[in-house]
Chain A
Amino acid sequence: NAGVTQTPKFRVLKTGQSMTLLCAQDMNHEYMYWYRQDPGMGLRLIHYSVGEGTTAKGEVPDGYNVSRLKKQNFLLGLESAAPSQTSVYFCASRPPEALGTQYFGPGTRLLVL
């Protein structure tokens, strides 16, 4: 099992460019999440999904869109990148059972110039 994987690992964008971050999990988990991590602020939830074809907004959704067309993949899109979106992005997944913890991917480091 690869667990949770993220692509790419690192990316530099210019302001206004667009990109898509890919999260894939091979654990057959229903729930998937996208977080951003900024210095001194912990992790903040951007969007999440409770199953294939569903998405919902988290704490900081503005400037991001997501899609969950397949159960194993959760895509995070930036339509027009801004310097404020410079961050480390983590994807996580978890099974629906009550005791399930979230399993995190390795992260994507994004720099917007």
Chain B
Amino acid sequence: ELKVEQNPLFLSMQEGKNYTIYCNYSTTSDRLYWYRQDPGKSLESLFVLLSNGAVKQEGRLMASLDTKARLSTLHITAAVHDLSATYFCAVLTGTASKLTFGTGTRLQVTL
């Protein structure tokens, strides 16, 4: 059974600081997704990482994938308040493109 673990579960950071969210998964997969969820809202796709060594960047967020280590990271550079949200990683599993989600990391950026 595939397990997807994120850490930390909660992150409070000051504006302007850098930090990294980690996503570990337990079995082989060649695709990993990052989503963002604002409170009371739906999930918004951020990144799709397709292969080992893949790196994607959008604004202050950069995601990477190491399939050998079964690890993905979401790096936040110079955080701003607008990045406050819950971030989920999800791993592609089995047939029908099913996703197994991590428990999420709630990010709070304070002034």
- Asked whether A42 and B101 contact (CB < 8 A) given A101-B45, A106-B41, the answer is yes
- Asked whether A43 and B97 contact (CB < 8 A) given A99-B48, A99-B50, A107-B42, the answer is no
* Interface size range of chain B in the complex: 20 to 34
User: What is the CA–CA distance of A107 and B40 in the complex, to the nearest angstrom?
Assistant: 9
A42 cross-chain contacts in B, Cβ below 8 A: 4, 88, 101-104
Number of interface residues of A (CB under 8 A): 27
A44/B42 in contact, CB under 8 A: no
Instruction: Write the B9-46 contact mask toward A (1 if CB under 8 angstroms, else 0).
Output: 10000000000000000000000010000000111110
User: What is the CA–CA distance of A103 and B35 in the complex, to the nearest angstrom?
Assistant: 10
Residue in A closest to B35 when the chains form the complex, CB atoms? A104
B42/A104 in contact, CB under 8 A: yes
Report which A residues bind B (CB closer than 8 A): 31, 33, 35, 40-45, 48, 50, 56, 58-59, 90, 92, 94, 96, 99-107
Report which B residues bind A (CB closer than 8 A): 4, 9, 33, 41-45, 48, 50, 88, 90, 96-104
Besides the known contacts A42-B101, A102-B45, 6 further A-B residue pairs in the complex with CB atoms under 8 A apart? A31-B96, A45-B100, A58-B98, A90-B42, A92-B43, A100-B97
